[in-house]
Amino acid sequence: MGGDVIRESAEAGRVVLWEESARDGAQAKTLMPAEFRVRLAREQGRLFGSAGPRHVVFAAGFPAVCGEEFEAVRRVAAEAEGAVSVAAVCRAGSADVRQALAAVRGSAHARIMIVVPASEAMARVMTHRAAREALEAGVALVKEARDLDDEVAADLCFADASRADHGLTAEYAAAATAAGAGTIVLADTVGRQLPGEAAAMFGAVRAGAGPGTVLASHLHNDLGLGLANTLEALRAGVRVVSASWLGIAERSGMVATEQLLFLLAHDPRPAAAILGADAEPWWQAPDLTRLPGIARMVSEQTGVPLTVTTPIVGSGVATISTGTPFVHPGLFQPFDPARTLGVEPTVVLTQLASARVVTAVAARLGHRLEDAQARAAMRWVKQLAFRSGRAVVPDAVFAGYLDGLRDAAEGTP
């Protein structure tokens, strides 16, 4: 497997993100035009500088969907070359494999991912045959893809691996690797796994397939456990992990790229707890200050909102609205948002505001309040919040109130 930078990264213990927002994200009823996919791939690669192709597999799309989708994948392969490793995803059929190869051929570090069912139930639905037969066909397609173009890496995704026989999965993971597969992706396709089950699956398949097999995770979030299960995969030694910006993917999505990356990179202590004390997860550590901007870009394109409670990139990050956190902000935050994300703390006015909070916001707006004025302003803020039914009092509204105070003090009519 010479030249496969993703295998090289995983085998060296480095973390690789398999980015799914442009591909699986489409099943969340979003659509990224070709030019946006190119932009997103480049931006994601810039997180890691020159090491982008070693740390990011960008699943550009599913070429068999239609001509426009094929063209979008082709453009990402051509125009994001050098920023990331670009992948095309396809079904387990010769025509689809050839089409996927055509979409990415000629791009440095290009890949295709062939999806094959691993469980008996999924195999019967998708291929009308038993799981063993479906897996054998997948191995044959890996060999066919490598024979057609050995410059494009071929990965095999075992759909519904969470409900498959782990011994059978391990057997064909090894066979596919021997046939030339770059990575074997184990998917919890319906997001049903509990963390202990995810740990057991990756542990069993990794042990059964042997050291030459590089496993990857693709874990959905239907029970809200996508992140927890991905951490179990990492603890089991998996280093290629699927994620999606804002968590967008089929149904309830999957682990959010910004959350997973931040968790592994912002502090060496949690990274060591997850990956091991001696882990060296990065060829080049990611620039986490880029995360908020990329998340906003994806939100604007897809219409998926960033809420006040969205971790890492939401509007509530670095905001303070009550007295004690205002006095001791570091005590009430798990990380320094200015240092790690480049997001400066902001004090906002709500019905919970103390006189100190009100005074600080007034100062930011260019007004100095005496103690009595601060107490009066605090009462006004609380009353307005409850009267309007909206917690946050906008700066512009508060500025109008403060201007009225100043005019009254100056005797201005």
Instruction: Enumerate domains of the chain plus CATH numbers.
Output: 5-302 (3.20.20.70), 318-413 (no CATH)
What does the pLDDT look like over 47-106, one tens digit per residue? 999 999 999 999 999 999 999 999 999 999 999 999 999 999 999 999 999 999 999 999
* Average pLDDT, 10 consecutive residues per value, the chain (413 residues): 86 98 95 98 98 98 97 98 98 97 97 97 94 97 97 98 97 98 97 97 97 97 97 98 97 97 96 94 97 97 94 90 77 88 91 92 92 93 95 93 77 59
Residue 318, both tokens = 């670095």
pLDDT of residue 409: 66
Beta bridge pairs of residue 16: 240
Can you list the alpha helix ranges (DSSP code H) found in 59-151?
67-79, 94-104, 120-127, 131-148
- CA–CA dist 272, 170 (Å, integer): 28
What does the pLDDT look like over 147-186, one tens digit per residue? 999 999 999 999 999 999 999 999 999 999 999 999 999 9
pLDDT of residue 217: 98
Q: Is 60:76 a contact under the CB 8 Å cutoff?
A: yes
DSSP annotation string for 81-98: BTTBEEEEEEESSHHHHH
Length of the chain: 413
pLDDT of residue 410: 65
CA end-to-end distance (rounded Å), the chain: 81
- Of 345, 353, 356, 364, the closest CA to residue 392 belongs to 353
Calculated CA dihedral for residues 157, 12, 275, 213, nearest 10 degrees: 30
Burial of 200 (0-12, 13-18, 19+ CB in 10 A): middle
pLDDT of residue 411: 62
What does the pLDDT look like over 25-40, one tens digit per residue? 999 999 999 999 999 9
Q: Is 280:26 a contact under the CB 8 Å cutoff?
A: no
pLDDT of residue 20: 98
